[in-house]
Structure 1
Amino acid sequence: MEAPLIAVTGRRRAAAGLHSGPPALDALEIDAYFTGYGANVVAAGGLPLHVPGDVDPAAVVERTDALVLTGGNDVDPARYGAVPDARTSSLEPGRDAFEIALLAAARERGRPVLAICRGIQLVNVAWGGTLHLHLEEHAHTRRHEVTLTPGSVLAALHGPSATVNSLHHQGVDRVADGLTVTARAPDGLVEGLEADGLVCVQWHPEQLEDVPQPEFRWLVDAARAG
């Protein structure tokens, strides 16, 4: 059986400081994502496809078998009726719009989706939920426990609890209709959301030691089954 083709979103950055070529390249931009995403897809039996933000989302979903929404900067607070404050990190409204369109196309075509960190926040906002603008106690806490909901995909992958990493300063506040909370931190913060064919986690499985992480195995298996 051929390896499922997994679309992986990334981020666009100024090239300055990210290359070893002549200074003239500083004015260019680079599309990138952290290597752990692709490495986990490959180790789980999939074939990762980096998706730049200026392609047709429907065409991407048509030709791929699953989608990974990766981490990154804050979702634009205007999308959920809030106002940025001094702690809001660089916004990417174009990326927001592109990934929301990718998500909608994937859901319409029944493609499985794994949403990570910014991804869980984007999904919740896209479906009508809101976010906490800043969570000082969660910002960059390297390890903590989450409790997983019995009967959920995450519980099937990990058991009743898991030790995860935390690299975020925002999080899910009001959960959107149609999404089920399937993981919580000890203070009650939502760390996992699910719907049919959709798994969202607030942590970064692509940065944990074991490769592939169970979430990526789930995604590739679901892509094969679809």
Structure 2
Amino acid sequence: MAAGPFRLCVGCRTSQPKKGLIRVYSVADGRLGVDLGGGVGRGAYVCPRRVCLEQAVKRGELARCLKVTRTPVTAMALEELIRDGVLRKVAALLGLARRARKVASGAEAVDSAVKRHSARLILSAIDASASSVEKLRNVAVQAGITWVQGMGKEALGAALGTAPRTCVAVTDPFFAGAIISALDKIPVEKEAGEAAWSDRRVGSGAEPRKAWR
């Protein structure tokens, strides 16, 4: 299957599939915006790696590509902008999945979804207890289900319109894949060409990686 169009990362200066990059653009008031879906119009593309963000800002590549006199943002601020965008997108996807009845929330419901072989992705809250996290991680490993930590209990509950949740199972492969793709955009420390994963992930042949907060 074709990887789709390629774009040049302004940080590492390597050509990468557009769908795996983050598009940075200038908005009307002079601030920067980020597009996780690779929108249209003038923009600068960067890999979801901290070193690429740092290089792009340090060398002034964003300002040059966007044709603005200056880019009033630091690499840390740009990373936070990306992180916020990712979390909003994941929350929106979880909301859509809930309305489509494609999620199970709470420990008992998640356990039931796993036993029915309907779970495609398990999300554990980053502030869940260590024992709860370890239990779900082991369940995911044994069942071959992708497991990841990505949001807090309050955020998970808010996305589903419920009280705080320690875990959620996504039962639809489309929603699961879209959530994973969004989480891939959180900048992390990794070498160029390494598979983009920004959180602890196991199952489906994946190895655990560093969790983000």
State whether TM-score is above 0.5.
Answer: no
Give 1 or 2: higher helix fraction: 2
Give 1 or 2: higher strand fraction: 1
Q: Which has the larger radius of gyration?
A: 2
TM category, shorter = under 0.3
Q: Give the TM-score, by structure 1 length.
A: 0.27
